[in-house]
Amino acid sequence: MTSDERREKIVAAIERSNSPLTGAYLAKLYHVSRQIIVQDIAILRAAGHDIIATPQGYLMPRISQPQRVTRVFAVKHGTDVIKDELETIVDYGGKILDVIIEHPVYGEFKASLMMSTRHDVEAYLDTMQKEEAEPLSALTEGVHLHTVEADSIAVLNQIEKVLDQKGYLLN
């Protein structure tokens, strides 16, 4: 199989999948290294394919999904409540699309999260712990933004209310 054929198959696999596909999975599927998959994804993105890298793997947005609404929440808290903050959002029906910080020197940092279940939150936190990584908010004294997607404005309003009650919203 040529590299172009492999890339076509990667796009088809990601498009067909109902959940994100990891680089390790794709590497095993096409008998190449994970680094080759990372390079293939970079080439596919440069060619115009809308492939999103998340902590759970690669995915492509689905055009046929029903219209959902989003809101950006500005929050501030310590690392000790990250799990509660994220679980609160997903438990009330939100999908956490990203985390954003505004660094005083480098400007905006944005990382795709794509978390919609407690399982996604656990996997994210497990990876953070395993890699001994700090959250982006550690660079901004706990201040960060989350773009949250939901089925309705009412769901976003409820999430905002609960985050406010817990003292996580930045006032």
pLDDT in tens, 48-96: 898 988 888 899 887 555 678 999 999 999 989 999 999 999 999 999 9
Q: Which listed CATH number (3.40.718.10, 3.40.640.10, 3.90.230.10, 3.30.1340.20) goes with 69-165?
A: 3.30.1340.20
User: Which is nearest to 54 in space by CA: 140, 137, 144, 117?
Assistant: 117
CA dist 42 to 2, 29, 36, 49, 95, Å?
A: 17, 18, 10, 10, 25
Average pLDDT, stretch 156-168?
96
pLDDT in tens, 83-97: 999 999 999 999 999
Domain covering 3-59 in this structure, CATH number: 1.10.10.10
